[in-house]
């Protein structure tokens, strides 16, 4: 026990004598660590912002076009199923009318089945066309957005350069006139 107390007292005395130095070292390292973390986070922020500014519009375009394709396919499936149900119902009605001897009604129902099939085909063509138009619209909007963003960046850069040149020239003029 005395041996442990002796070691403890030595450690305590060493810590007491070097406490200011230890705090100073930890403070320096802590500040360095904080500075490094802030630098790394700043770099990550720039990378993420650059990535999103560069690829964000294209990611949005891809997502919008995926949604358009899914919606278009869903509408095609719905229309095809509805058309098939209407055709089956029309055929059943035509058969029932033929069984009861109403040949005129059966013929009208058969013509109605033909109209239903034709209307289903036309509606599917319209759905496909509208989906295609929406995809082209999404592409066009992305091109406009990217071009506008590029123009604003170019304009801002050129204006910044001009401001810098004017400021530098003004500073040089002021330095020469004060000399």
Task: Give the number of residues written for the chain.
Answer: 179
| The pLDDT value given to residue 153 | 78
115 contacts 53 by C-beta, under 8 angstroms:
no
d(Cα 133, Cα 65) in Å, to the nearest integer?
A: 11
| The pLDDT value given to residue 99 | 95
* Inter-residue long-range contacts of 76-82, CB under 8 Å, 24+ positions, other chains counted: 76/124, 76/127, 76/128, 79/120, 79/123, 79/124, 79/127, 80/120, 80/124, 82/120
DSSP 39-84: HHHHHHHHHHHHHHHHHHHHHHHHHHHHHHHHHHHHHHHHHHHHHH
| The pLDDT value given to residue 132 | 95
73 contacts 139 by C-beta, under 8 angstroms:
no
C-alpha neighbours within 13 Å on the C-beta side of residue 6 = 3
pTM across the whole model:
0.60
d(Cα 145, Cα 160) in Å, to the nearest integer?
A: 22
How does pLDDT run along the chain (179 residues), one tens digit per residue?
788 888 888 888 988 888 888 888 787 777 778 888 888 888 888 888 878 877 888 888 899 999 999 999 999 999 999 999 999 999 999 999 999 999 999 999 999 999 999 999 999 999 999 999 999 999 999 889 888 888 887 888 888 888 888 887 888 777 777 76
d(Cα 21, Cα 99) in Å, to the nearest integer?
A: 107
d(Cα 31, Cα 33) in Å, to the nearest integer?
A: 5
128 contacts 72 by C-beta, under 8 angstroms:
yes
| The pLDDT value given to residue 179 | 62
d(Cα 128, Cα 140) in Å, to the nearest integer?
A: 18
> Strand, helix or coil at 101?
coil
| The pLDDT value given to residue 68 | 94
């Amino acid at each position: 026990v005395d041996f442990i107390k002796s070691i403890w007292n030595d450690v305590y005395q060493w810590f007491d004598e070097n406490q200011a130095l230890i705090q100073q070292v930890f403070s320096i390292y802590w500040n360095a660590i904080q500075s490094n973390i802030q630098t790394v986070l700043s770099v990550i922020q720039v990378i993420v912002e650059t990535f999103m500014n560069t690829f964000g519009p294209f990611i949005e375009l891809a997502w919008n076009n995926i949604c358009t394709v899914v919606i278009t396919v869903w509408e095609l499936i719905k229309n095809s199923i509805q058309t098939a149900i209407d055709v089956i119902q029309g055929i059943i009605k035509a058969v029932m009318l033929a069984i009861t001897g109403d040949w005129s009604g059966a013929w009208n129902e058969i013509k109605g089945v033909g109209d239903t099939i034709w209307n289903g085909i036309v509606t599917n063509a319209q759905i496909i066309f509208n989906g295609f138009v929406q995809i082209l619209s999404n592409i066009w909007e992305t091109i406009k957005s990217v071009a506008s963003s590029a123009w604003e960046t170019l304009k801002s850069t050129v204006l910044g350069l001009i401001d810098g040149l004017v400021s530098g020239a003004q500073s040089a003029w002021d330095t020469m006139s004060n000399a």
